[in-house]
Structure 1
Amino acid sequence: MSADSVRIQTGDFDLSAELAQLRAANPKVGAVVSFVGTVRDLNEGASVAEMELEHYAGMTEQSIQAIIEQAKQRWPIYGALVIHRVGPLKPLDQIVLVAVTSAHRGEAFAACEYIIDYLKTEAPFWKKEQTPDGARWVDARVSDDVALKKWSTAA
């Protein structure tokens, strides 16, 4: 059984309901691991009043689905869910949910981390922050690239 889903949406998500639905897809699930990313009120030393996320419809979903498929080739996971919000978001708002189910926690933790690392660097999203000095586009982070490199050497 597989329960994979990729959703790009403007509205918020209910973490508890999403995890319950993902887990219910397969009675063999022994582990559910999730990551929720939120909007911070500070980035690179500047206050952030709002962050706006844009994406390339269709291409973004395909890109994320491909990342999930790569994770499934590396680990025996049952299902993966990625919800990513777009549009204007305020500090403390949820941005992204990555959740993975498997029989055991090790595979679920690894696959969840793999998916978010690749999503941060490979999925076509663009972020613009509103700061006291005006709007600015957010560049890719070196730390995200470093995180991604570990997977090219991991077994």
Structure 2
Amino acid sequence: MPSPARAAAFAAAARTILAVTLAVLLAMAGGALAADAPAGKAGPEKAANASAAGSGDDEDEDDDEDEDEDEDDEDDYEGMPPGDGRDEVFAYCSACHSMKLVTQQGLTRADWAEVLVYMVEEHEMAEIEPEDEKLVLDYLARFYGRDRRARKMGR
């Protein structure tokens, strides 16, 4: 049986190891969460400000760079194509679930409108401002409408 002094030293060492391990795990988790957070996650305002800041008239920009930026941009939005309303759709929908749940659908504009009402009433989604609602529905119908679903299924 160890002496009381040795047992106390062992307990102190164990607490230190546990504290350091916990600190490292928390730091790793925090870094992973920050790295996984899409640039547009903060909502429509942040994305709008970012696009406004980069709207300078640089005539020497290369088209290849633009294509690369579009691909990177889609990665930030979980594969959602650029278009009016994308920021709003991403902000409202990704607050609760993966965008894959949205992008796998193929609904009419009217069906999307019903889904939005359902999400607000049954799942406590934030109320959508009227001007945002039009952008959201237009975007969803354009990129995730019935015709898109039919094309994916080869019809």
TM-score, normalised by the number of residues in structure 2: 0.25
CA radius of gyration, larger in: 2
TM-score, normalised by the number of residues in structure 1: 0.25
> Which structure features the higher share of strand residues?
1
